[in-house]
Amino acid sequence: MSRMEPGRPALEVRFARGHVVESRHRVHVVVAEGSGGLIGSWGDGAWVTVLRSVAKPFQALPLVADGAAQRFGFSGEEIALCCGSHNSEEVHMEAASSILAKAGVPAELLVCGAHAPLLAARRDELSAAGTPWTPLMCNCSGKHAGMLALAAFHDWPLQGYQRADHPLQTRMGREVANWTGVAPAEMVWETDGCGVPTFAIPLASLALGVARLAVAARDEGPPRRIVEAMTRHPFMVAGTGRLCTRLMEEEGGRVFAKVGAEGVYVAGDPERGLGVALKVEDGAWRAAPPALMEVLDRAGVLSPEAKRALRDFAEPVLRNTLSDEVGRVSVGEARCS
């Protein structure tokens, strides 16, 4: 049986302490092609998945397609930030501020809220300096800045842009529906961690949407600009020490990738027209990178160079407080689906 055959048992990410497996995380995966065909799947492809931040590349598309990015002169780095879940590093915050300034929108209108940076070193740096958390530090500030810019472009109300009935969010929902093939009325609308709507759809539909985006990125147009922004400026999509950034850096533009909260990950291969979507069933973020690396390897997407360079993401070493190696992480198929 091919390692890419549809209908295989769910993948399982195992955390072993010595010879004892002490934790297991089941992962559902779909690999699709842009024509709608299913290349491979593990677990339940119909698993209803809340997109969270993997929706961001789709949500950024209207910025380009409607003309806002052109009118405001957004750079590739700024467009990439709109697709990203960043570390709150200085360059990320500067880009979010620049997007708002170019669109003539005050930062006070951001409703994404404030949280500590995702990068521990950055969090410690700002804490030591006594710097308070602000909405610009929110990992979603690029998405929110882009949304406000699109609202300004269309002369839509800036206040309340986060509401599901706002024309901005209606536009976002149509875009996600267009690529995934799920009608807006059939998508489940929920509230994301940053306050704007997010969408729940079957995992297979998400993989199809990513595959379609990958295929469309081959030609001139908004999808290419989004994917090129991500792959040419991968640091803006995540930042220091993050798999999204490292994978796109190592693959040199061949692959785009985006993580979402609660163990969701997507990746696209424009050259082959493939889209990958996975969901860690119990939401464990730590299981998503090894699972993604395993799937990309099985799908033949990873280059040998990237596979070597990203080994720490694929097979993390578990260490204790003395830095001794005490265990490892591995990925295989679950004993039962």
Mutual angle of helices 222-232 and 243-251, in 10-degree steps: 100
Percent of the chain at pLDDT exceeding 70 = 98
pLDDT for 2 equals: 46
Interval 160-171: pLDDT, tens: 999 999 999 999
Residue 6 has pLDDT above 90, yes or no: no
The 3-state DSSP class for residue 84 equals coil
Q: Indicate whether 304 belongs to any domain.
A: yes
SS3 22: strand
What average pLDDT does the chain have? 96
- What's the CA dihedral at 212, 187, 264, 114 to 10 degrees? 120
- pLDDT confidence bin for 137, thresholds 50/70/90: very high
Q: Going by C-beta distance under 8 Å and a sequence separation of 6 or more, which residues neighbour residue 42? A: 8, 9, 10, 11, 27, 28, 29, 295, 333
Contact partners, residue 94, CB within 8 Å, separation at least 6: none
Measured torsion, CA atoms of residues 128, 132, 133, 135, in degrees rounded to the nearest 10: -140
- Is residue 103 assigned to a domain? yes
Q: Report pLDDT digits (tens) over 148-159.
A: 999 999 999 999
Residues 258, 237 contacting (CB under 8 angstroms): yes
Q: What is the domain count for the chain?
A: 1
pLDDT score for 336: 63
Stretch 15-32: mean pLDDT: 97
Q: Assess if residue 227 is contained within a domain.
A: yes
pLDDT at 3: 61
Tokens of 283: 């939401």
pLDDT tens track for 194-229 = 999 999 999 999 999 999 999 999 999 999 999 999
Three-state DSSP class for residue 236: helix
Query: Quick one: which of 195, 197, 223, 199 has its CA closest to 210?
Result: 223
Q: What pLDDT is attached to residue 204?
A: 97
Does a structural domain hold residue 253?
yes
The Cα-based distances of 79 to 40, 155, 294, 318 in angstroms read 31, 20, 29, 36
> Helix axis angle, 56-65 relative to 203-216, nearest 10°?
40
pLDDT of residue 247 exceeding 80 = yes
> What are the Cα distances from residue 268, in Å, to 187, 281, 301, 322?
22, 21, 9, 39
Summarize the confidence of residues 317-333 as an average pLDDT.
Answer: 96
- Is residue 92 a part of any domain in this protein? yes
* Residues 6+ positions from 237 with CB-CB distance below 8 Å: 80, 81, 83, 84, 85, 86, 230, 244, 245, 248, 258
- pLDDT at residue number 337: 45
pLDDT at 5 over 80: no
In this predicted structure, what is the pLDDT of residue 83? Answer: 98
Coil, strand or helix: which one is 13?
A: strand
pLDDT score of 16 more than 50: yes
pLDDT in the model for residue 77: 98
* Contact (CB, 8 A) for 335 and 8: no
pLDDT at 7: 74
> What is the per-residue pLDDT across 252-301, written as a single tens digit (0 to 9) for each?
999 999 999 999 999 999 999 999 999 999 999 999 999 999 999 999 99
Tell me whether residue 1 is in a domain: no
Residue 6 lies in a domain: no
Provide the residue range defining the domain that includes 190.
Answer: 11-333
Q: What is the CATH number of the domain that holds 28?
A: 3.40.710
pLDDT at res. 4? 64
In a domain, 142, yes or no: yes
- Which among 278, 290, 303 has a CA at the least distance from the CA of 15? 290
What mean pLDDT is predicted for residues 58-69?
98
Residue 66: which region, alpha, beta or left (left: phi > 0; alpha: psi -120 to 50)?
alpha
Give the angle 202-247-314 at the CA atoms, nearest 5°.
80
Q: 325-333 and 48-50: which strand pairing?
A: unpaired
